[in-house]
Amino acid sequence: MSSTALDKATGFAQPPYDVLALRQDFPILDREVHGKPLVYLDNAATSQTPQQVIDVFSAYYSRYNANIHRGLHTLADEATAAFEGTRQRVKAFLNAEDPRQIIFTRGTTEAINLVVQSWGRTNLNAGDEVLISLLEHHSNIVPWQLLAAERGFTIKVIPVDESGALDMQAYRELLSERTKLVAVNHVSNALGTINPVKEMAALAHQQGALILVDGAQATPHQTVDVQDIDADFYAFSGHKVYGPTGVGVLYGKKALLETMPPWQGGGEMIKTVSFDAGTTFASIPHKFEAGTPAIAEVIALGRALEWLDGVGVAAIGEWENVLLKHATQAVSSIDGLRILGTAPNKAGVLSFVVDGAHAQDIGLLIDQLGVAIRTGHHCAQPLLHHFGVDATCRASFAAYNTLDEVDTFVAALNRVIGMVR
């Protein structure tokens, strides 16, 4: 596509989105798989990492590797400054009020478990209800189930319509004075549905309930403003925003975080420790960051967000929509292919099943042609069962994917379907 055509397609002001230049930042995109150029379309599982982020690890371990906060020497100061610099950057990235609302975790999963074990364990009792959407990733289902089994509160499920959009009428009806918390993802990893979390937050708050938003799929594709959403908790993972694995973030409203008890004990999270007088805890965010954190990963996450801000997350989201439209149109002509997830508000995920062809077979064979897609339940078994399937094929797009790659994927898919049918 010429840049003028691209401008037209995306409605961009100058300069146009330069996907080929941006690809240069990702060394992995040069590799081959089974003798074919890699076409990486598994971005909803993990995004690839730009060289600028990879370089952070070598710089950190070769120049200023030191434990943070406790040291008084130069290396410790440098490491602490870089680590806390990421906290400032995440604060800006989410538009939080205060960097102390940013807690580093191992990922979205651990961020949700923190809320469940700290806030949930303190506030949820028999008779209370937690509303969870049918679109949720297992990481926003199972931690609640584990605690519900112990505490006796009830989990209710917000249903979806046939397009994979949440049934907002049902949501309104499920909300009641028994509802203590609503747990919902901002964007579904299995279908790509974008949920109206701002409206959902307002409705939850009218009932005196809190809302936890799982932002693992939203943060790579759109600008997120936790104050505008009025989210009580917001979680995301580093490895889905072009950062490393092993690090994620929990944002929480200050008044909530300040009253919540610690969930893990250890170094760094205390003020004083005594066998006689008892132990007192550090203030937020350190109260929730027991032990030595993933220092290099946190610093690298900061670099990833800098990269993301440099390109512009809104521009990336627009480009992914161009890719998604092109892919959706191209696969629609394939005989017996059914797309799951056709909500009007959708991010760059294409989930589908093909009559007479198992998702696993398609995934294995298309890999032989160099194309990486994901097949399976995408950690959303309840949702897939609702649509009457055990597995789908999922192609998911990122900043660096091209229209040519989409064409390669569709041609490969046609070939593979011809082979297995």
Ligand X SMILES: *Cc1c(COP(=O)(O)O)cnc(C)c1O
What are the residues binding ligand X (CB under 6 A)?
107-109, 137, 139, 185, 189, 214, 216-217, 237, 248
Least Å distance, CB 137 to ligand X, is 3
Nearest to 317 by CA among 230, 194, 185, 133: 194
Least Å distance, CB 42 to ligand X, is 12
Specify whether the CB–CB gap between 174 and 158 falls below 8 A.
Answer: yes
Specify whether the CB–CB gap between 140 and 214 falls below 8 A.
Answer: yes
Catalytic annotation, pick one of 183, 290, 379, 413: 379
393 is catalytic: no
Residues 334 and 410: their CA atoms lie apart, in Å, by 9
Beta carbons within 8 Å of 96's beta carbon, 6+ residues apart: 90, 102, 226, 227, 251
Pick between residue 248 and residue 317 the one whose CB is nearest to ligand X: 248
Pick between residue 17 and residue 234 the one whose CB is nearest to ligand X: 234
Q: What are phi and psi of 223, to 5 degrees?
A: -70, 135
Least Å distance, CB 66 to ligand X, is 27
Pick between residue 247 and residue 362 the one whose CB is nearest to ligand X: 247
Pick between residue 138 and residue 178 the one whose CB is nearest to ligand X: 138
- Work out the burial of residue 366: count CB atoms within 10 Å of its CB; fewer than 13 is exposed, 13-18 middle, 19 or more buried: buried
Pick between residue 189 and residue 392 the one whose CB is nearest to ligand X: 189
- Which two tokens mark 337? 């292919």
Give the 3-state secondary structure percentages of the chain, helix then strand then coil, rounded to 5. 45, 20, 40
Measured CA to CA in angstroms, residue 305 lies from 64, 102, 145, 291, 366 at distances of 21, 14, 33, 24, 32
Nearest to 41 by CA among 31, 29, 53, 30: 29
Pick between residue 281 and residue 387 the one whose CB is nearest to ligand X: 387
Least Å distance, CB 211 to ligand X, is 15
Least Å distance, CB 348 to ligand X, is 12
Q: Are strands 337-340 and 280-281 parallel, antiparallel or unpaired?
A: unpaired
Q: Which H or E run includes 92?
A: helix 74-94
Least Å distance, CB 52 to ligand X, is 21
Active site residues: 379
